[in-house]
Structure 1
Amino acid sequence: MFQSKKILLLGSGELGKEVIIEAQRLGVETIAVDRYEHAPAMQVAHRSYVVDMMDPKEVRRIVENEEPDLIVPEIEAIATAELIQLEKEGFRVIPNARAAQLTMDREGIRRFAAETLQLPTANYEFADTYEEFVQAVHEIGFPCVVKPIMSSSGKGQSVCRTEAEIKESWSLAMEGGRVQKGRVIVEEFIPFDSEITLLTVRAVDGTKFCAPIGHKQKDGDYIESWQPHDMSEEQIREAKRIAQAITDGLDGYGLFGVELFLSKDKVYFSEVSPRPHDTGLVTLVTQNLSEFALHVRAILGFPIPEITFTTPGASRPLKAAEEHSDYTIDGVEQALGVPETQIRVFGKPVATPGRRVAVVLSSSDTVEKARVNAELALDRLKVK
C-alpha cells in the first residue's frame, strides 16, 4: 500500500520541473521553492514560495510550515547547515543533508573524492586571494582550469593558458561564483578524449547505472549531450567503479549525475551532483524511465526495475543570446518538423545571455543521426 507523500523542492528550474511532473504521476503533493517568481517547476507544482534559499531562517520557516515528507534540493545554493539541523530534528533530506553540503561546493566533493576515497582526479589547488591564486596557477602549471568553488552552468569557469590570462581568469571566477566569491579551485588541465555523465541510481534494491551519456561543454556549460557514448568495456568497468565509490560514499537514495573524463588509458572523476543532471535531459527520449522518473522512484523508496535503453538520442539546449524580459521562441513549428524530434520549453520568465530556455531532444537509429537532427532542429529556433 502506497501512502501519498509531500515533497518540498528547493530550486525550481527545468530539471525540477520534470521531477515535479514525475512525482505528481505517482500522486505526490509538490511544493516548489526558488529565489524568483514563476520558475519552471512552480508552474506545475501544487504550491510555491519565493525566498532566498541561502537564508537559513527562510528555509526553516517553509519546512516547518509545510512539514514535507521529503526535502529535495535541486541546486547547490541552499543553506545546507540548516538542512543538517533539520535532518537531526527528523526531516528527511534527499539523498541526505551531508551529501547536499558536501556537493554544495567543489572543494568539499573534490577533497572527499581524491583524499578520502582516493579516486583518480586532476591535480588541484585552492585559493582565497589573488596572491594565493597566482601561486596556485604556477604550482599547477599552464594550461589550467579555473572555477569558483560554487557556481552553476559553468559560470566563472575558464582555461588559463598563459601568464597574461591569469588576471582575467581570476576576474571571471569572481563574477561567476554564487557564494563565497573569494575562493576558487585551480585544476590541472587533463588532455581527455571525451567527457561523460554516468547516471547512477541508489535505491532500496541496490545501485544501477544508465548507459553512458557523452557531452560537450563550452565555458563549463553543456551545449550538447548524446546517449550512448562509445566506450570500451574496460572504460565502462572503471567508470562504474568510480561512480559506485562516490555514490556509496555520499549514501542515501536517489539519482546521481557522476561526471567523468575519459582518456585512452585512464578514467578521471570530475564532479557529482546528487540529483538529475542537465546532460541527462536526453533520457526523456532514450530510456524506458527517464532520469527524473528514476530519481522520484528511488527517493520514494521503490525498487528500480531494469533500466532499458530504447533508442539512441541527443539533446541540444537553446540559449538566449541577449537579455529579454518578455521573449518568444521562434521556429518551433519548423524545428518540430525534424524527424523524431521533441522540444521542451522551460517557461523561464526572463531570458539572459547564455541562459537555457528550452531543449531539443532527438532520437534515431544511430547516435550520429540523432545528433545531426538535434543540431538541425536547434538551428531553426531563435529567442527574440
Structure 2
Amino acid sequence: MLKASRGGYDGRGVWMLRADELEAFFDQYSGAPLVLEPKLPLDLELAVLVARNPSGQVEVWPVLETVQVNGMCDEVLLPANVSATLAAEAEHIGRQIAELLEAVGVFAVELFVSSGKLLINEIAPRVHNSGHVTIEASATSQFSQHLRAILDWPLGPTHSLSRAAVMANVVGTAGKDPRESQAVALATVPQAQIHLYGKESRPGRKIGHVTVLGEDLSQCRTSAALAAAALSAGHSAISDGPPND
C-alpha cells in the first residue's frame, strides 16, 4: 500500500501495487512524499467519536461500523457488528487518545479490525463524516457536543435513541441535482432524514447523506440505500415502490 503524505481523502492518494509495479510507479510519480505500508487482511472498519472539554470531561459515543466502497465511506452502521469486548476496547482507545492529547472538541478515531485485532488507521481532529449519524441517532449530536466542548460546557449524553441506525452517503453524479429528487426519495422511504450540503454534484463527490432509524439494522440499511440512490441518480433510480419496512 502506498499513501500520499498530504492531500489524500476518500480513496484519493492511495495505491495498491504489486512489488513488480513499484519501479514504474515511482518513475512517473511526482506528488507528495509517500508512506509505504503492508497490505492487511481487514475484517471491517470502525470509527469512534470522542468529545473532550478543557476541564477534562470526556464522552464517547457507541462505536460505529463504516462500510467503504472504492475507498470512500458509503455507509455508517450503528451498532457496529462487533463483540461487546471489542467495542469496549475501541471506545477505550478513543478515550485514551483524547486524554493523552488533551484534545478539545470532537474528533474521530478510525480503526481497522484485522484478524480480530484493533489497529488505529487515522485520527481526525474534527467533527467527522461518520458522526453525521448522531444528528438523529444520538442523545447529543457531534455538532452540539463540539460547541459544548469548545465552550467548556458540560458535555451531553451520547447514548443511542433507537435500536439501529444507518447513515448512507449521497454521492454526486454528472448533471444530477439531488434537490430535484427529494420528493421521490421521501415517497420511497418516508422515514428517511435527508441532509444535502449545497455542493455542486460531481461524480465521486459526497454531496449529502441520509439517515434511517429503526428496530432492525438490515431494514435500515435497505431503506437508507434506496433513499441515497434516489438522490444520487435521480428519478429513474426508484422503480419498485416503497420497501416493506
TM-score, scaled to structure 1? 0.55
From 238, 249, 253, give the equivalent of 2:104: 253
In structure 2, the CA distance between the partners of 1:293 and 1:161, relative to structure 1 (3 Å rule), is farther
In structure 2, the CA distance between the partners of 1:166 and 1:214, relative to structure 1 (3 Å rule), is farther
Q: How does 1:1-384 map onto structure 2 within 5 Å?
A: 145-150=1-6, 151-161=8-18, 163-164=20-21, 167=24, 181-203=31-53, 204=55, 206-311=57-162, 312-322=164-174, 328-329=177-178, 330-337=180-187, 338-348=189-199, 350-382=200-232
- 1:159 is aligned with what amino acid? M
Percent identity between matched residues is 26
Report the alpha carbon displacement of residue 377 of structure 1 after superposing the two structures with TM.
1.1
In structure 2, the CA distance between the partners of 1:334 and 1:166, relative to structure 1 (3 Å rule), is farther
Answer whether contact 1:223 1:317 (CA < 8 A) is retained: yes
Report the alpha carbon displacement of residue 273 of structure 1 after superposing the two structures with TM.
0.7
- Residue 21 of structure 2 aligns to a residue in which SS? helix
Deviations 1:306-326 (A, max 9, x none): 22210121111121233x5xx
Deviations 1:165-211 (A, max 9, x none): 7645996x86xxxxxx3311122222121111000111235222101
TM-score, scaled to structure 2? 0.84
**What's 1:32 paired with?**
none
In structure 2, the CA distance between the partners of 1:218 and 1:351, relative to structure 1 (3 Å rule), is same
Deviations 1:22-47 (A, max 9, x none): xxxxxxxxxxxxxxxxxxxxxxxxxx
In structure 2, the CA distance between the partners of 1:282 and 1:161, relative to structure 1 (3 Å rule), is farther
Deviations 1:78-130 (A, max 9, x none): xxxxxxxxxxxxxxxxxxxxxxxxxxxxxxxxxxxxxxxxxxxxxxxxxxxxx
In structure 2, the CA distance between the partners of 1:265 and 1:345, relative to structure 1 (3 Å rule), is closer
Gaps of 5+ in 1: 1-144, 175-180
**Comparing 241-250 and 304-313, the one that deviates more:** 241-250
**What's 1:80 paired with?**
none
- 1:149 is aligned with what amino acid? S
In structure 2, the CA distance between the partners of 1:218 and 1:186, relative to structure 1 (3 Å rule), is farther
In structure 2, the CA distance between the partners of 1:194 and 1:382, relative to structure 1 (3 Å rule), is closer
For residues 130 and 168 of structure 2, the distance between their equivalents in structure 1, rounded to whole angstroms, comes to 9
Gaps of 5+ in 2: 235-245
- Residue 127 of structure 2 aligns to a residue in which SS? coil
CA RMSD between the two structures? 2.3
Rg bigger for which structure? 1
For residues 196 and 143 of structure 2, the distance between their equivalents in structure 1, rounded to whole angstroms, comes to 17
Answer whether contact 1:146 1:169 (CA < 8 A) is retained: no
In structure 2, the CA distance between the partners of 1:382 and 1:235, relative to structure 1 (3 Å rule), is closer
Deviations 1:27-75 (A, max 9, x none): xxxxxxxxxxxxxxxxxxxxxxxxxxxxxxxxxxxxxxxxxxxxxxxxx
> Paired residues, what number?
229
Report the alpha carbon displacement of residue 297 of structure 1 after superposing the two structures with TM.
0.9
- Residue 307 of structure 1 aligns to a residue in which SS? coil
